A and B are shown apart, each in its own frame.
Chain A
């Protein structure tokens, strides 16, 4: 209990550092680019356009028929998955990348993975403008009564990614192979997260496999609120919460157990 209280006090003390690091990353990301922040919106929009063209022409068969408003369906999956991939891979490298600093000054080490996940969330928030643009172009009606509920899967996804980011950043200090494994794993996960197809049209086993993927739940819950206007079902609420809770518990425990050894391996 005392240690939880101490970590919270430490976190409060370093909240400005968190804020400054996010600002720094944001500034450096768009330094020397002509369009600057506009890329946060253009990038997902263009990526989505490419995927839309591919799945609407060459791979039309793969996409499956009967997805109304495919563009909106696609961009939601794309944005949320991007957030997950970006936040976890940046968080993974964050502790080691700040080795010069951590070897010299005492700072709570979890600040770095946390900052990367927050930074990815800021980017994600900007890219929601791309989502709005797609909705306007395709003239999709939005039910505001359910749309605000999309915050729930988004917040749960934040904690889910934070837990995994903490776990990966701790492991990465000791075993550098993790980076390559995670990259390949994410590529696999793209195809298992129902980003560009409707899993209900798949065979029984495939459907079950996709249902054990947490990303499927976050994406589907978000679509249900924003795109389909159906809000959240009980199973969505429970599954999203459990995924976030398990990920956070494992991440925090592994990170905390190993953080004193980090400096000796950096």
Chain B
């Protein structure tokens, strides 16, 4: 394995959002505002100048308060957002577990959704056929296969989604607070599956508010604070500091 080449390199990435300061209810108000010195936008940096290298086989934790830019960073890595500045290079396939069940159609049955969501992730029907039994087995939903998803509980949907997303061995698994759903038995099962993937060489990025979980599973941690990368390194060092962190010490988000 090539140890020198990072599997994901985040290179000076910034993400800027425009927040409209005044709401213009109609076109007329908008034009009036335009005449009076222009429409003002508040530019807000969800991420400013973040650089990060993730090596193959890393189990990377992302921590930070609400609104610190964790999800934005994950979305940039998985290609949903295009960064306003900087560059992200990904060398491998990504299985995103960002908000489970995003690709599900609630009117379709579980069986139909397995195929639909599998193709959303770019797999062939033949491949999904070969993994179908595994998915059903793992999600423990055999009796409910032909029931429309709208009749499922949220825990059942999450189980199905996790089983679909991890059907293959991706190079990179991105998990955004997904392990907080489901009962504790299923959480253990998910952690076990992730550990299996890891031993097969998969790189994992995990977002979690549970420091205990991060300490248990990750070998490296990046700490985001209002869009800045505050600390980045081995788990023990970063989490020790994070635990003593107080709100008054937080950094300011960039405005333009």
Chain A residues close to B by CB (< 8 Å):
13-14, 16-17, 19-21, 24, 27-28, 31, 100-107, 260, 263-264
Contact = CB atoms under 8 A, between A and B. Distances in A.
B82 A260 contact: yes
B108 interface: yes
A14 B82 contact: no
Nearest to A102: B80
A101 B102 contact: yes
Contact of A104 (B82, B96, B112, B124): B96
Interface residue SS majority, chain A: helix
Given A104-B80, A106-B79, A14 B119 contact: yes
B49 interface: no
A120 to B, nearest CB: 19
Contacts of A103: 75, 80, 102
Interface residues of B, number: 27
A13 B121 CA distance: 10
B112 A24 contact: yes
Interface string B107-119: 1100010011001
Nearest to B127: A16
Contacts of A102: 80
Contacts of A27: 108, 112
Nearest to B113: A24
A14 B80 contact: no
Contacts of A19: 119
B120 interface: yes
B123 to A, nearest CB: 8
A21 B103 CA distance: 11
A17 B119 contact: yes
B102 A104 contact: yes
B105 interface: yes
B38 interface: no
B103 to A, nearest CB: 6
A16 B120 CA distance: 9
A106 B96 CA distance: 9
Contacts of B94: 106
Given A27-B108, A31-B107, A101-B102, A106 B78 contact: yes
Contacts of B82: 260
Interface string B17-31: 110000000000000
List 7 A-B pairs, minimum CB-CB distance, nearest first. Answer: A106-B79, A104-B102, A17-B119, A260-B82, A16-B119, A20-B119, A104-B98
A5 B99 CA distance: 32
B37 interface: no
